[in-house]
Amino acid sequence: MKETEFVIEHEVKLNKPILIEGLPGLGLVGKIAADHLLSELKAKKLGTLYSPFFPPQVVIKKGGLVDMMKNEFYYWQAEKDTQSDLLFIVGDHQGTNAESHYDLCNKILEVAELYNTKLIYTLGGYGTGSLSRSPKVFGAVNSKTLIKPLKSVGVSFEKSGGAIVGAAGLLLGQGKLQGIKGACLMGETHGQIIDARSAKAVLEVIQKLLHVDISLSQLESRAKKTEKMIEQVRKQEEEQAPMPPASLEGPTYIR
């Protein structure tokens, strides 16, 4: 693969869907929220995004099968008139350098436009350095018209001056240039811990926005699993620190 590629796996027609982005970020708030939402809604796989800008590796899954680095699109079709079809972009990775964030965002928007996406919600965390028992959800939008409806479901617009890094931000910025409205919903979070409580706050807001009703009881255990998995990886990392193959990389230096 020489450039970022979308491989469609399931042909489906969507009716002006809302794109939900939940890629990894601060406190993994957005990832946990989006993964939980699509799992509870039993969203189906639409296709996969491969990119030479993801880390150059595969991961070994249980049983020994390897998995390419990727982002995945899922879709969910509305059950009621009050609901919108949904398109999800989720995964374990964002780009490995500054320009690649733009590249991946381009491709995500390209797919979103393929399905006539009319609105984008990007999910993330807003770090405060402290733990809150009842985390707020802060909003940022690319169109003024979105502020009122968001406020009406409890989103706060008191924070400004920060930056939204990666897909959660660029999808709004570039989306605007392409005429797609969008909002970022950021759960208040400490910043140094994986935060299921903050993800829950974001999900409570998103449920109201999407008029869907999902169970949040498994959320805590999902976050615990994520934490355990990370702990395991950290332990393996210590054991497997790579040896720099000195003789093979940059030997004596004559210029």
Q: Are 24 and 31 in contact (CB under 8 A)?
A: yes
CA distance 67 to 79: 33
- Residue 148 C-beta: closest distance to a second copy, Å: 11
Please report how close the Cβ of residue 79 comes to a second copy at its closest, in angstroms.
31
Task: Provide, rounded to whole angstroms, the least separation between the CB of residue 215 and a second copy.
Answer: 25
**What pairing do the DSSP bridges indicate for beta strands 119-127 and 18-22?**
parallel
As measured in angstroms, the least distance from the Cβ of 83 to a second copy is 25
Instruction: Indicate the residue among 80 and 177 with the shorter CB distance to a second copy.
Output: 177
**Residue 18, helix vs strand vs coil:** strand
Q: Closest separation between CB of residue 234 and a second copy, Å? A: 6
CB nearer to a second copy: pick between 79 and 110: 110
Q: Are 120 and 21 in contact (CB under 8 A)?
A: yes
Closest to a second copy by CB, 41 vs 168, is 168
Contact 5, 53 (CB under 8 A): no
Nearest residue to 216 (alpha-carbon basis) of 189, 198, 231: 198
Distance CA 184, CA 19 (A): 11
Closest to a second copy by CB, 84 vs 142, is 142
Q: Which is nearer to a second copy, 81 or 242 (CB)?
A: 242
* Contact partners, residue 213, CB within 8 Å, separation at least 6: 207
